[in-house]
Structure 1
Amino acid sequence: MAALRPIDKGEFVEINGISGTVTSVGIMATELVKADNTYITIPNSLVWGSPVINSSRMDTRRVEVKVGIAYDSDLDLAVRVATDLMASHEAVLPSPKPAVVVSELADSSVNLSLRAWTATPDFWRVRGDLTRDILRAFRENEVEIPFPQVDVHLDRAQ
C-alpha cells in the first residue's frame, strides 16, 4: 500500500536533499543511486523522519519551462508560438491542455512559464526538447529573448 510504503525499488526520490533511484529498501537503511552513479545509503531514521519527494510514483508529470521575452516583443505572439510548440510535441498529453502563463515582470524580461503534461518516463526528454525548441521557435517568429542589462549613468563631478 502506497500510504505505508512512500518509496519502492526503481522509483526516483529525494530524501533529505539527496536525489536518486531507489535500489533497496531495507530494515535499517534505504539505498539510492544518484544520476552520476554515486551510491548512497540513507539510514531509515532519516527516511521516515524527512519529507520524501517521489518523482516517479505518478503516471504523469507536469513539465515547466521558464523563458523570458523582451518587453517590446509581441506577448500574444509569444504565447501562441509556445502553445503551438507544446501542442505539436508527440509526448505532450492533450489533456490537461498545455498552458503558457506570465509568471513575472522582471527587470529585463517578461517571464513566461510553459506548462505541459507528459507521461512520467518522458518528463526529461520533453523538458529538454521544449527548452531547446522554444529558442528556435522564438527566433523564427522574431520574439526576442533578452539578456540582463544594467544602464549605468555617471555624473561628472567638477
Structure 2
Amino acid sequence: MEGLAGQLGAYGPLVVGALKALVFLVVGWIVANAISGFVRRQVTRSEHIDNTLGTFFASLVKWLILIVVFIAVLQIFGFEATSLIAVLGAATLAIGFALQGTLADLAAGVMLIVFRPYKLDQYVDIDGTAGTVKDINLFVTELVTPDNVQIIVPNGKAWGSIIRNYSAHATRRLDLEFGIDYGDDADKAIKIITDISGADARVHDDPAPWVRVVNLGESSVDLGVRLWCDAGDYWDLKFDMTKQIKEAFDKKGISIPYPHAVEIQKSA
C-alpha cells in the first residue's frame, strides 16, 4: 500500500485509504451476512426459542456489525472515535427528523417482536393486506400471498394498523349459508347438512355443528351452518362441505333456487 501511495504522489494516501475502506466494507458485509446467517440457523435449531425471534436477532446482529464497519471506515479517513461520537451526537437530531419513518419502523419492529401479534408462517391480514408471514426484520415485515406474490409492509404501518391473525388459534369456525326453495322441507335440509357434518372427521364434536334457519330471503329460505375445525383444515373443509351438501340436496330433492321474483295478479 505504501509503495502504491508513493507512485500516486499527492493523491496516494487518499487512494490507499479508499482501497482500505472498500476492503473493510466488502469484508464487513460478508462477515455480517455470515454471522447473521449463523445466528438464524442456531436459533432455528433450538426448540426453546421462537423462529420469529431468530429472524429478528439475525437482522439486529447484521445491522450492528455494519454500523461498526461504517465507524471503522470513517476512522480510516482520519475521523477520531471521540470526534466521531461528538459529530454523531450533534447530528442525531437532524438525522432523527430526516429518518422519522425509518426510526418509526425500527421502533415498531421492536414492539412487534416484544408483543408478537404474529409469527413466522402465520397467515395474517394487516390493514386489508393478507398473506403468510415469511420474514420480520428491523424495518419491514415480508408477506407472501397465496398466489406467491411478495408484499413488503413497513413495520410502522403494521404496528399502527388492525391485524387479523388467522393462524393464532388452533381452531377456527367455518360459516356457510345455503338457500333452499320455500316449497322444500327445511327440517329435511337441516338433517342432510347435520348428517354430512357429523360424518366428516375434520368437524369437531365440541362445539357441536350448528344448523338453523337464519333468514327468509326474497327467493329462498336461508340456512346458516357453523362448524368448528382445526385451523389447517379450514379451506379444504369449506370447499368439500359446499360440494357435498350441494350434491346431497340434488339427490334428496332439495332445490337451491335462482334469485327470482313472483308476479301476482289480482282481478279487479
Q: In the alignment, which residue of structure 2 is the partner of 1:71?
A: 182
Q: In the alignment, which residue of structure 1 is the partner of 2:150?
A: 39
Give the letter for the 1:38 counterpart. V
Q: In the alignment, which residue of structure 2 is the partner of 1:144?
A: 255
Is 2:168 the partner of 1:54?
no
In 1, the alpha carbon distance for the partners of 2:213 and 2:162 equals 30
Q: Which has the higher contact order (CA 8 A, sep 6+)?
A: 1
Which one has a larger percent helix, Structure 1 or Structure 2? 2
1:3-152 paired onto structure 2 within 5 Å: 4-151=115-262
Mind listing any 5+ residue stretches in structure 2 that lack a counterpart? Answer: 1-49, 51-112
Which one has a larger percent strand, Structure 1 or Structure 2? 1
Shift of 1:151: 4.4
Give the letter for the 1:84 counterpart. D
Say how many residue pairs are matched. Answer: 154
Give the letter for the 2:232 counterpart. P
Task: Give CA-to-partner distance per residue, 1:57-85, whole Å, 9 cap, x none.
Answer: 11111111111111111011111111111
SS in structure 2 opposite 1:77? helix
SS in structure 1 opposite 2:115? coil
Shift of 1:101: 2.1
Q: In the alignment, which residue of structure 2 is the partner of 1:156?
A: none
Q: Structure 1 residues 146, 3: closer, same or farther in 2, change over 3 A?
A: farther
In 1, the alpha carbon distance for the partners of 2:252 and 2:203 equals 22
Larger Rg, first or second structure (1 or 2): 2
SS in structure 1 opposite 2:177? strand
Contact 2:172 2:231 in 1 (8 A): yes
Give the letter for the 1:127 counterpart. K
Shift of 1:107: 0.7
Shift of 1:142: 1.0
Task: Give CA-to-partner distance per residue, 1:127-147, whole Å, 9 cap, x none.
Answer: 111011110111111111101
Shift of 1:9: 0.4
Q: TM-score, normalised by structure 1?
A: 0.91
